A = this chain, B = another copy of it.
């Protein structure tokens, strides 16, 4: 049995169009919406009155006249409910409570939670509970929880492997759903970041982009036609284990010369060792050294930039995206990486690709991963809400 098409579907789709328009270009009048969407004024009026009944939008009062009757402006009711987004890091848990437009209402951070799944889950639960407790009252309450996790996540929301946390086959989504009785979405951290950047960050203007999450390891989130592409099982974007040197050193994954051995935070720290710098090196220390013009730090970063660029070239050749966003921890070193990344790409990419591609870095002030998963929850909620 297939999806069939009938008038109910038409109505649902048109209602979605109207709501999307109000969400994206507010305030807007009924007449303006009708004209922009190509729908009849009456149709828009009737859909709008339903949306008002459902408390998803509201009338904000009269707008400016353009030579006739003053329009009644419509606003999306961003406080109709609240969403929670959690970025589950290796040594932190960061959570946000957002309104339905993704504006941050409240943020909470837990440093150095226990590594074991049991401990981490307890911390995540208590952080989420705090966020829930401090949410303002609203028609729909908390509409869902999104979590970004640093590992391989299947389409059922199980974390199959999170090497840096030592987790294997944990049913994170199911456990959280049981704890809170709310819709839960669990996504790979790179996918979450990709969507966060696409909705709220430097990827706002593009619908085809690839977000490179360069942290301890490297992962990628792939946005095609404005939607996350997850592959057949949800494992797409494992570009950290793309080999760029098949004669290179062994990687933990079994392959040789994986990209993340050359261009991740981990690799940068290892390079520090070979440069004879002190042990216990961190990305922050390296950046500080570079800021004070330390020659070794500068050339380590230059090399990392070149290696980042080499992998990005491979990605560009395969996907032909409109934009590449470099995010996560290494984005903090933008100032020292950017030139070498772009130079490498310009030098070694087919000329056709170069003219049109945009290479950007994340703005670290934006918690892209947490906002991305929060946005997923919001979209699910709205889709379900308009279902009938």
Q: Does A388 make an interface contact (CB < 8 A)?
A: no
- Please report the C-alpha to C-alpha distance between residue A229 and residue B224 in the assembled complex, in whole angstroms: 9
B314 & A160 in contact (Cβ 8 Å cutoff): no
Say whether A356 faces chain B, with CB atoms less than 8 Å apart: yes
Q: Which one, B6, B9, B243, B253, contacts A350 given CB within 8 A?
A: B253
Q: Are A310 and B243 in contact (CB under 8 A)?
A: yes
A13-B5, A232-B208, A322-B232 as given contacts; A317 in contact with B239, CB under 8 Å: yes
- Residues in A7-41 with C-beta less than 8 Å from chain B: 7, 9-10, 13-14, 17, 36-39
**A246 → chain B closest CB, angstroms:** 5
A62 to chain B, nearest CB (A): 26
Selected from B230, B313, B356, the residue in CB contact (under 8 A) with A320 is B230
Answer whether A37 and B4 are a contact pair too, CB < 8 Å, given A239-B318, A245-B247, A320-B234: yes
Instruction: Decide: B233 and A356 in contact? CB cutoff 8 A.
Output: yes
* Copies of this chain in its oligomeric complex: 2
Which of B17, B314, B318, B356 is in CB contact (< 8 Å) with A220?
Answer: B318
Which of B14, B254, B314 is A243 in contact with, Cβ under 8 Å? B314
Flag if B241 contacts A244 (CB, 8 Å): no
Which of A234, A238, A247 has the most CB atoms of chain B within a 10 A radius of its CB? A238
The distance in angstroms between the C-alpha atoms of A164 and B355, with both chains bound, is 23
Cβ of A286 under 8 Å from chain B? no
- B4 and A14 contacting across the interface, CB-CB below 8 Å: yes
Contact B4 A238 (CB under 8 A): no
Indicate if the CB atoms of A320 and B7 lie closer than 8 Å. Answer: no
| Residues of chain B lying within 8 A (CB to CB) of residue A317 | 238-239, 241-242
> For residue A319, which residues in chain B have a CB less than 8 angstroms away from its CB?
231, 236, 318
Residues from 242 to 275 in A contacting B, C-beta threshold 8 Å: 242-247, 253-257
Query: Closest CB of chain B to A56's CB: distance in Å?
Result: 19
Tell me the nearest residue of chain B to A251, going by C-beta. Answer: B348
Interface status of A228 (Cβ within 8 A of chain B): no
Judge whether A237 is part of the interface by a CB distance below 8 angstroms.
yes
Contact of A313 among B232, B237, B255 (CB under 8 A): B255
A65 contacts B by Cβ under 8 Å:
no
Given the complex of chains A and B, what is the CA–CA distance between A238 and B22 in angstroms? 40
A7, A14, A233, A314 pick with most chain B CB within 10 angstroms:
A314
Q: How far is the CB of A191 from chain B (nearest CB, A)?
A: 12
CB-based contact A2/B353 at 8 Å = no
Q: Is the CB of A245 within 8 A of B245?
A: yes
Q: How far is the CA of A356 from the CA of B347 in the complex (A)?
A: 38
Contact indicator A310/B350 (Cβ below 8 Å): no
A10 to B348: give the CA distance in the assembly, Å.
49
Task: A1-B37, A243-B244 are known; give 5 further A-B pairs, CB within 8 A.
Answer: A208-B232, A231-B321, A238-B350, A246-B310, A254-B348
